[in-house]
Structure 1
């Protein structure tokens, strides 16, 4: 209908709605193809008319639909957009800016607290081979939950992310196979008595892991929920075993089948573990059943892991293969099915979109799972869309991510 093909807002609304589609919804698949093409054409026409505002609205939507945006970043975009609308409510606008700034003050306080904790370990000096990414880890945790009531969980998750970044670099690029065997065994035993058998450079890392968990366990003990940390510990142990398996493959020069690789790499991507860790300290809404549900690796969690794994493989494949590294999912697929890397890149991009569809479906199917838990899973996926959409912006922090962090942490909105 000609009247609809020129309705910019209507096309954007339909385009956004298609990202809520589930597997098998072919009509919405077609609608996405149509709206993308039509909005691109309209944007080109508007460039000739110099209609900057509408062009920006279209480009922002095409770059990242609302479903995939982090709520806190979306607030940064939407509040100024709302302000430009002639119909905006001045009181509501003022309140939204003040609300943003008040929460920003809390986030600053949390980051300051984390910085003091991090300085004690002096990672840059004592673990020079590891990525020093505390601020980015906090940004990651902030993406999972920004709300004030999740402050202690956010701090814990940021610490967990910082610690596993060091462990990732230890397993991936520094430790020898024999050293990693010792570290893996120590983590499985989870006891400070293991410290004596560890190589010297691991004697800082291992207590750091134990201390982060002990601190949260003590906090939860005041509510009679210290045992919740046991679920997180078990997930951590599973996560480390997956790292060790990949180290074994690398040590043997073995390229696994795609199925073998996926059975391990969906765990080594860390997203099952991070979801379980994110539940700690969220309050009364989190029960034993919540941890048991996440620990059984339900379809919603698996879909989030798939999205993380495929997106990470796409952007990090080239760099990883330039050094000694376990075969990535792309290498495994190329070898097993005798196709080009470019073909696998396209296939994995499709699998990322399929994972979003699965998450949409499962978020509706999980009737007995509280929505705050479901949103943790979705927000974890959203962080991947921000940090790994076009390149590995966590390892190589680009200008866009730096600007996100500055806008969220440094610049008040009401001034």
Structure 2
């Protein structure tokens, strides 16, 4: 994975440009001056409210947790960090004292670990009995079990199975209690099991949180009001961004040239929305959608269109960064789009941050196409690679390293002292995508091309394994990659927080992007899209 080494010494913070929202079609809070003032006033009210809460209290962490679940935490990042720093100073008392129940201990653990504070998993040992198992008496504490379940998703390899046990314990008892709960509380529990905060996207799932929680306190109503205002602000921003993405895609003409290739600009843009959540980073969302789109198109070229000889020529052209006369016209067209888009992104980075990443981006594209070609040669020759050989190549062919390389530079990070952390975090995200894709859920593509599967190759190496055994092995590997990803993202490193968050968000979106039903649709994701993009009337995603 030579590409991953491209990012091993390029960390440098930079200021973010601001995208100015334009005209909104939102009915409640259009972006006129009075409502923008009201919007800003609500943010100040929320900030002042948090300041007034008693330092070290449980209420502090409850409010911060709600801010995160409503997707409002980015407006209060500095204040949240200061508050949790004070909570951490008192963590020995707050987390280990028998005066604090399972809910309080789990919630504090979750928030502190999410924000990079070192909190060992053994804080949960006091909730175990003499048999070193979680006490059955906890099964009556629904709120505590829900909080424990949330905390269990922050597991890293160093946790000595404590959080794995917490996950199984909380899942089993919450599932068992579901039939005995009223509809409202059952919905809360089901939402926790289906959409744990750490592995979900707040902008996609906040509607579920609103539906399953009674907002009775004044601060909850204030936060909900701010969330509704923010929703309409973001609708306006998304509308303008989608317009620009669709305009760019239509003007390229690739969908006309490649009739069998995917034509899903809204779906591609969703990756950008998930990765880059800061409202001010419109330019970044628009620009990163372009290489994302091209990954899908190049994948279709390798999988559907090209002969092996043509694919070799195309890959050589990408490596030389120079078009070859022998390429068929559709490949020449695609090569030119890749080249133009890459130079455009490099120019954006240069204009905004003062240096040009073109060499890194060219290497990223070369690595991706080399990986695609390796797979094409395997399939053409009938060769079945070893499962781990396939996965190593598949991490690059997932497109994640190439896309995240582009994003890293678009966020303004560059040369610095050096770290291998970037390589690890990208590799884990890519492995999660490749493994879940390979579970056979991505059946929407309805194409004639051939795709390998990690599970298929792994099961060939085993004796007497069932399909269920193979699926469980893949899920176990995904769990392991999540632990590695958590370690990179939740531990102090030189990786910028905005990039770590983007990587986590990619991993969070993957299950929704590959949860196809029998009709080759994505019902869970479609429901979120209808909520987030209510102004978009066309079914351009699938």
Given the two structures, how large is their TM-score scaled by the length of structure 2? 0.69
1:300 counterpart (425, 428, 443): 425
Q: Could you say if the C-alpha distance between residues 156 and 195 of structure 1 is closer, same or farther in structure 2, counting changes exceeding 3 Å? A: farther
Q: What is the match of residue 311 of structure 1?
A: 436
- Cα separation, 1, equivalents of 2:276 and 2:210: 19
Match runs of 1:15-414 below 5 Å: 15-25=149-159, 26-46=161-181, 51-81=182-212, 84-89=214-219, 90-191=221-322, 194=323, 196-223=325-352, 225-283=354-412, 286-289=413-416, 293=419, 298-316=423-441, 325-338=450-463, 339-388=465-514, 390-391=515-516, 396-410=520-534
CA distance 1:76–1:226, shift in 2 (3 Å): farther
SS in 1 for 2:428: helix
Residue 335 of structure 1, CA deviation: 1.7
Deviation at 1:331, TM superposition (A): 2.0
SS at match of 2:329: coil
User: What CA deviation, in whole Å up to 9, does each residue of 1:211-248 have, x standing for no partner?
Assistant: 21122222223235342233222112101100000011
How far is the alpha carbon of 1:57 from its aligned partner? 1.0
Deviations 1:306-337 (A, max 9, x none): 21111111134888999552532122112222
What is the alpha-carbon distance in structure 1 between the residues aligned to residue 424 and residue 411 of structure 2?
22
Structure 1 SS opposite 2:516: coil
Contact 1:23 1:358 in 2 (8 A): yes
Matched position secondary structure for 1:280? helix
Distance 2:178 2:444 in 1: 35
Query: Which is richer in helix?
Result: 1
Q: Do 1:315 and 1:392's aligned partners in 2 also have CA atoms closer than 8 Å?
A: no
Quote the offset at 1:107 in angstroms.
1.2
Distance 1:229 1:101, change over 3 A: farther
Separation of aligned partners in 1, 2:535 and 2:189 = 26
Q: Which moved more, 1:14-23 or 1:263-272?
A: 263-272
In structure 2, stretches of 5+ residues that fail to align are 1-134, 537-542
Which digits, 9 at most, give the CA deviation of each residue in 1:29-74, with x for residues without a partner?
111111111111111112xxxx111111111111121111012113
Contact 1:14–1:31 under 8 Å retained in 2: yes
- Aligned pair in 2 of structure 1 residues 369, 288: CA closer, same or farther (>3 Å)? same
Once the two structures are superposed, residues 182-204 of structure 1 have per-residue CA deviations (whole angstroms, 9 ceiling, x without a partner) of: 1111111113xx15331022232
Q: Aligned residues, how many?
A: 399
With over 3 angstroms needed to count, the CA separation of the structure-2 counterparts of 1:156 and 1:324, relative to structure 1, is closer
Cα displacement (A) at 1:88: 4.2
State the shift of 1:366 in Å. 4.8
How far apart are residue 113 of structure 1 and its match? 0.5
Q: Which has the higher contact order (CA 8 A, sep 6+)?
A: 2
Query: SS in structure 2 opposite 1:222?
Result: helix
Max Rg structure: 2
CA distance in 2, matches of 1:386, 1:317: 11
Change (3 A) 1:293 1:79: farther
Determine if contact 2:235/2:533 at 8 Å carries over to the other structure: yes
Contact 2:314-2:327 at 8 Å conserved across structures: yes
Change in Cα spacing, 1:297 to 1:367, as seen in structure 2 (3 Å) is: closer
| SS at structure 2 position matched to 1:178 | helix
Verify the 8 A CA contact 1:11 1:39 in the aligned structure 2: yes
Question: CA shift at 1:347, angstroms?
Answer: 0.2
Counterparts of 1:230 and 1:268 in 2: how far apart (Å)? 19
Q: Secondary structure at the match of 1:168?
A: helix
Contact 1:243 1:268 in 2 (8 A): yes
Give the CA deviation at 1:81: 4.6
The alpha-carbon deviation at position 352 of structure 1 amounts to: 0.8
Q: Is the CA contact (8 Å cut-off) linking 1:121 and 1:204 kept in structure 2? A: no
Q: Tell me by how many angstroms 1:287 deviates.
A: 2.2
Preserved CA contact (<8 Å) 1:115 1:134: yes
Asked if 1:9 is matched to 2:157, the reply is no
State the shift of 1:2 in Å: 6.0
Deviations 1:111-157 (A, max 9, x none): 10111111113343221111111100001111011212322221111
Cα 1:170/1:195, change in 2 over 3 Å? same
